[in-house]
Structure 1
Amino acid sequence: MHLSILIALIPALAWGATGIVTTKMGGSAGQGTLGMTFGALIFGLGTMFLYVLPMAGADFAFNPRIWLVGFISGLFWAVGTAGQFIGFKKVGVSVGNPLSTAGQIITNALMAAAVLGEWRTGKMWLFGSLAIISVVVGAILTSLPDAHGTKNMNPNYNFGAGMFAIAISTLGYMMYFVFPNLLHKIGYISNAVHAAPNDTGLYYMTSIVGPQSIGQVLGALIIVVFFLKEKDIMFQKWTWRNIVTGLVWATGNVFMFISAANPQIGQAVATTLSQMGIVVGVFGGIYILGEKKSKRQLVFAAIGAVLVVIGGVMISNLGHL
């Protein structure tokens, strides 16, 4: 179990570092998104040909049902990303990021608990709910703006439109996370395929990554051309530099899905632990990227980080209740 928890924490480290890496690589939002999906594509195809095909065989690597699940999951990710970018533009990152993170934690954990049936007792629901609250409050505290700092006037500010975009983003990310297990729950993916090998789910979840990355690339192209209006600059050097960002992100992605399929971890725990990357992102931004924070912000960030960790520890131990 301890090894499983450590594996489930890899997405938090990788995804928490993604923002830091893409900042170092440079480029616009569209270039970063597209480059990230190219990196994810390299990782996904590498996983398929170097692991899935030799270990699980062609029945998994080229299973049409798995390909459909993975591809649609990748498109859901694109919807989540498009909504997040639009939301950030309307309400700002300092407001949109914690709301997006909190929304993902709530919807993924509750979807896994209620629909996938991972929380089976009243105690699990009680402590699971308290854990979610702890993580959400912590996520908000880590991203609080400086009340006494200079306020930037955003000409695109529109709170209602921003909240709607964040809501759409949250639904997109929720389905990206939950869709592979949901399709097993309704019987589209058989128990034998979902459980192999030895009831770990490893073959199914690693088989998803390749077709998922194709859906992400297609979705990213749609985002860049139609939402971000960056088709004229989408193949400049910064896009190719952000392939590194994609490789870092994809590492977290594959371990998140592996953990979600592991019966010792489950969807609710895996997705909640993956969102603990906000701690890495906040303090990495301060100490690696040199982002300025007031003393007040640092205090709230520290308190928030502790709450996120406490919530993560609580939810990762629900199986003992």
Structure 2
Amino acid sequence: MAILIALIPALAWGSTGIITTKMGGSAAQGTLGMTLGALIFGLSTLLFYVIPSAGLDFAFNPRVWVVGFVSGLFWAIGTAGQFVAFKKLGVSVGNPVSTASQIALNALMAASVLGEWTNGKMWFFGLLAIIAVVIGAVLTSLPDPNSKATPNPEADPKGGYMAIALSSLGFMMYFVFPNLLNKFGFISDAVHGAPHGSGLHYMTAIVGPQSIGQVIGALIIVVFVMHQGKTMWQPATFRNILTGLVWGIGNIAMFISAANPQIGQATAATLSQLGIIVGTFGGIYILHEKKTSRQMLYISIGTILVVVGSIIISNLSSLA
């Protein structure tokens, strides 16, 4: 059951690029609409689960709110960068490259800073898995030099890859921050592990303040960075609320899995990125992003490498 919960983010997050493309609008409208959906989901979680199960003192713990709010700001940076990359690179290219960078950064951060890789064998197999994931993602995004590229009026490879770099750093901090603050003592072990060592109360309590941080972060980015304040309340923004609701399901499942000692941060983050399968093939078959037979071969091999690398990371304890 723990593994099944850990796989929910892959399905939910792998769908976000497809859903936001179908909903239409600019990268700014997609970002803001998604945060509004996340806000609805986050506050519903707070009101209908955290308060009844953990109590008001836990639900409104100031330190938990600080962690959640800052995590939400990091997420806004990650999401805005990813949506910009989708516009500039296309979903079938942007999704796998973004996924690989997130897997590598999150696994290394969890392993080195949170101490989840505890011996030489774990580091050997872990680094081997990361290499497989990165090579796989590169293969999925390779162009066919003999084919005519599908015209993309917003195409900007350099800008797209820079957006992914910024996005990956934002997502890394969003993933790791709640456990990192426990590691540094800002969040006590008693709060972090409640109830009964599962971490369920802490990780679900984060979601409400996190969603507020997401909305504020998105508004700042849309108005002052993207300079699209005049167009942010158009219909496309509200259509993208659906994107945020789907994302919210994956978000709460990911944090529950990260808090579960049977799964852990590195494994939860890695499994969540198996959404590369949904995003890549969804971009091709649902959004009709054209690929040649050579590219489909690259994509198939690359996807297998990403899946194999993810499986290795999720089973490091047994390999060691």
1:247 to 242, 245, 248: 245
CA contact (8 A) 1:34 1:221 kept: yes
Q: Which residue of the partner structure matches residue 31 of structure 1?
A: 29
Once residues 282 and 51 of structure 1 are traced to their aligned partners in structure 2, the CA distance between those partners, rounded to angstroms, is 34
1:88-127, Cα deviation, whole Å (9 max, x unpaired) = 6777767654443222111110110011010111111111
Q: Which residue of the partner structure matches residue 124 of structure 1?
A: 122
1:100-155, Cα deviation, whole Å (9 max, x unpaired) = 32221111101100110101111111111111111222222222223222345878
Q: Which residue of the partner structure matches residue 134 of structure 2?
A: 136
Residue 275 of structure 1 deviates from its aligned partner by 1.1
Alignment of 1:1-321 (within 5 A): 3-85=1-83, 97-151=95-149, 157=156, 159=158, 164-320=162-318, 321=320
Once residues 255 and 136 of structure 1 are traced to their aligned partners in structure 2, the CA distance between those partners, rounded to angstroms, is 25
1:213-265, Cα deviation, whole Å (9 max, x unpaired) = 10110111112112222222211111111111100011111111111111111
Once residues 278 and 105 of structure 1 are traced to their aligned partners in structure 2, the CA distance between those partners, rounded to angstroms, is 11
Q: How many residues in Structure 1 have an aligned counterpart in Structure 2?
A: 318
Secondary structure of residue in 2 paired with 1:8 = helix
The one-letter amino acid of 1:172's match is: G
Once residues 12 and 94 of structure 1 are traced to their aligned partners in structure 2, the CA distance between those partners, rounded to angstroms, is 15
The one-letter amino acid of 1:277's match is: G
CA contact (8 A) 1:82 1:227 kept: no
Question: Cα–Cα, structure 1 residues 90 and 290, in superposed 2: closer, same or farther, change >3 Å?
Answer: closer
Residue 292 of structure 1 deviates from its aligned partner by 1.8
Once residues 132 and 125 of structure 2 are traced to their aligned partners in structure 1, the CA distance between those partners, rounded to angstroms, is 10
TM-score, normalised via structure 1 length: 0.92
Residue 59 of structure 1 deviates from its aligned partner by 1.9
CA contact (8 A) 2:75 2:174 kept: yes
Question: Cα–Cα, structure 1 residues 26 and 305, in superposed 2: closer, same or farther, change >3 Å?
Answer: same
Greater CA deviation, 71-80 or 88-97? 88-97
Greater CA deviation, 19-28 or 60-69? 19-28
1:25-66, Cα deviation, whole Å (9 max, x unpaired) = 222211111110000000000000010000111122111100
Residue 22 of structure 1 deviates from its aligned partner by 1.3
Once residues 94 and 15 of structure 2 are traced to their aligned partners in structure 1, the CA distance between those partners, rounded to angstroms, is 18
Once residues 237 and 158 of structure 1 are traced to their aligned partners in structure 2, the CA distance between those partners, rounded to angstroms, is 28
Give the CA RMSD over aligned residues.
2.1
Once residues 155 and 46 of structure 1 are traced to their aligned partners in structure 2, the CA distance between those partners, rounded to angstroms, is 37
Unpaired runs of 5+ residues, structure 1, are none
Question: Cα–Cα, structure 1 residues 25 and 168, in superposed 2: closer, same or farther, change >3 Å?
Answer: closer
Once residues 98 and 129 of structure 2 are traced to their aligned partners in structure 1, the CA distance between those partners, rounded to angstroms, is 17
The one-letter amino acid of 1:300's match is: Y
Once residues 32 and 158 of structure 1 are traced to their aligned partners in structure 2, the CA distance between those partners, rounded to angstroms, is 20
Once residues 8 and 85 of structure 1 are traced to their aligned partners in structure 2, the CA distance between those partners, rounded to angstroms, is 24
Secondary structure of residue in 2 paired with 1:280 = helix
Question: Cα–Cα, structure 1 residues 308 and 260, in superposed 2: closer, same or farther, change >3 Å?
Answer: same
Greater CA deviation, 143-152 or 204-213? 143-152
Residue 277 of structure 1 deviates from its aligned partner by 0.5
Greater CA deviation, 288-297 or 97-106? 97-106
Unpaired runs of 5+ residues, structure 2, are none
Question: Cα–Cα, structure 1 residues 113 and 282, in superposed 2: closer, same or farther, change >3 Å?
Answer: same
Once residues 76 and 30 of structure 2 are traced to their aligned partners in structure 1, the CA distance between those partners, rounded to angstroms, is 13
Question: Cα–Cα, structure 1 residues 274 and 173, in superposed 2: closer, same or farther, change >3 Å?
Answer: same
Question: Cα–Cα, structure 1 residues 114 and 92, in superposed 2: closer, same or farther, change >3 Å?
Answer: same
Question: Cα–Cα, structure 1 residues 215 and 155, in superposed 2: closer, same or farther, change >3 Å?
Answer: closer
